[in-house]
């Protein structure tokens, strides 16, 4: 059943006119302050009195005073109207310059790889922005959870979001520690994984993610088994370094560890390519200057442009 609005349409019309007249006890002064004619002020007040259902002013040829109804009305209307004006000013301020709280949702693995290198320069460039990062692996509703933007793998970003690539496409790698491979041997074929301890990822829906491969151009998903399950890649990479088993992880968090010799790749001929990681956010019309500033900062970092000094935030 359709519900009526708590506040009727137009219920605030005339309130500002009423408050100005009440302050000056004079219709002409109120009109001059608002830049309208005394007739317009008078009509606005009369319309308000009609909606309220009571006279708010006592008018004579010499003076204007408040009725008892007017006294009661101003007692609550004045502070409420001032709060509305203050709220509008606060919102307008955030819509005109990079300031306020910028909340970003990202998986743990993205923080050291993508965010840590730019946190210091962004905070120096925009000191009026509070930058908050919430690390979680779950796919969240940005608007419902109060986030301005998120970072996720490209295949996970909803189609109604605006997405900006942060990395090029990268492979999913199967890696293991030198100690594990020395003890258990190196798999040569996908079928060899049946003989290995495989570290697994639990998705946000509770299911265990299969391992994905490209077998001569044919996509292949394989259910593996092993002694360890985690819900984020950072933990899985840590377990692989300790020799718990083999892990299938995105290339970026494993790249440095492979270069250091702490992890080695196997089954590289079957590696599947992923779309990369993206910064995503709702439509452009909803993008405040604080987020536009961050987007521009990310673009400058990717282009190798020094960005410790604030630039004019352009629309993405």
The yes-or-no verdict on residue 117 having pLDDT over 90 is no
**Cα angle: 172, vertex 176, 179; to 5 degrees:** 170
Share of the chain above pLDDT 70, in %: 89
Report residue 113 CA to chain centroid gap. Answer: 19
Region 204-227 average pLDDT: 92
Strand order in the sheet with 129-135: 129-135, 100-106, 149-153, 277-281, 162-165
- pLDDT at 199 (0 to 100): 97
Provide the pLDDT for residue 159: 85
| Token code pair at residue 315 | 């629309």
Q: Using the predicted structure, report yes or no on whether residue 7 has a pLDDT greater than 60.
A: no
Q: Answer with the residue of higher pLDDT: 232 or 315.
A: 232
pLDDT at residue 16 is higher than 60: yes
152: phi then psi, degrees, rounded to nearest 5: -150, 165
Inter-residue contact 290 to 169 (CB < 8 Å): no
Higher-confidence residue: 61 or 208?
A: 208
Phi, psi of 163 (to 5 degrees): -125, 135
Higher pLDDT, 94 or 17: 17
Report pLDDT digits (tens) over 271-281. 999 888 899 99
Mean pLDDT of 159-174: 90
Three-state SS letters, 12-62? CCCHHHHHHHHHHCCHHHHHHHHCCCHHHHHHHHHHHHHHHCCCCEEECCC
pLDDT at 47 over 70: yes
Supply the pTM of this predicted model.
0.62
Phi-psi region of 98 (alpha: psi -120 to 50; beta: other; left: phi over 0): beta
Is residue 67 over pLDDT 80?
yes
Q: At residue 216, what are phi and psi to the nearest 5 degrees?
A: 55, 45
- Catalogue all structural domains in the chain, each as residue range(s) with its CATH number: 15-94 (1.10.10.10), 100-168+276-303 (3.40.190.10), 170-274 (3.40.190.290)
More confident residue, 224 or 113: 224
pLDDT category, 312, cuts 50, 70, 90?
Answer: very low
pLDDT for residue 299 is more than 60:
yes
pLDDT band at 11 (very low <50, low <70, confident <90, very high): low
pLDDT for 176-211, tens place per residue?
999 999 999 999 999 999 999 999 999 877 899 999
């Amino acid at each position: 059943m359709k519900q009526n609005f708590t506040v009727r349409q137009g219920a605030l019309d005339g309130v500002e006119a009423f408050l100005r007249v009440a302050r000056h006890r004079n219709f002409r002064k109120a009109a001059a302050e608002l830049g309208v004619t005394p007739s317009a002020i008078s009509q606005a007040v009369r319309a308000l009195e009609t909606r309220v259902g009571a006279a708010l002013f006592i008018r004579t040829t010499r003076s204007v005073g408040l009725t008892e109804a007017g006294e009661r009305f101003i007692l609550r209307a004045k502070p409420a109207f001032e709060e509305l004006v203050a709220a509008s000013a606060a919102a307008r301020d955030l819509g005109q310059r990079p300031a306020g709280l910028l909340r970003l949702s990202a998986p743990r693995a993205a923080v050291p790889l993508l965010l840590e290198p730019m946190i210091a320069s962004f905070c120096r460039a925009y000191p009026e922005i509070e930058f908050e990062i919430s690390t979680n692996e779950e796919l969240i509703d940005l608007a419902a959870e109060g986030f301005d933007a998120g970072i996720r793998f490209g295949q996970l970003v909803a189609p109604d979001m605006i997405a900006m690539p942060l990395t090029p496409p990268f492979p999913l790698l199967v890696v293991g520690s030198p100690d594990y491979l020395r003890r258990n041997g190196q798999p040569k074929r996908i079928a060899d994984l049946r003989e290995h301890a495989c570290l697994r990822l639990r998705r946000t829906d509770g299911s265990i993610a299969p391992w994905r491969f490209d077998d001569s151009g044919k996509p292949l998903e394989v259910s593996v088994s092993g002694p360890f399950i985690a819900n984020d890649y950072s933990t899985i990479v840590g377990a692989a370094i300790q020799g718990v088993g083999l892990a299938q992880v995105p290339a970026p968090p494993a790249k440095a560890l492979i270069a250091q010799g702490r992890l080695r790749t196997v089954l590289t001929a079957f590696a599947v390519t992923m779309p990369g990681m993206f910064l995503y956010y709702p439509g452009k019309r909803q993008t405040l200057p604080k987020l536009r500033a961050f987007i521009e900062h990310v673009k400058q970092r990717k282009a190798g442009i020094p960005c410790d000094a604030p630039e004019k935030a352009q629309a993405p």
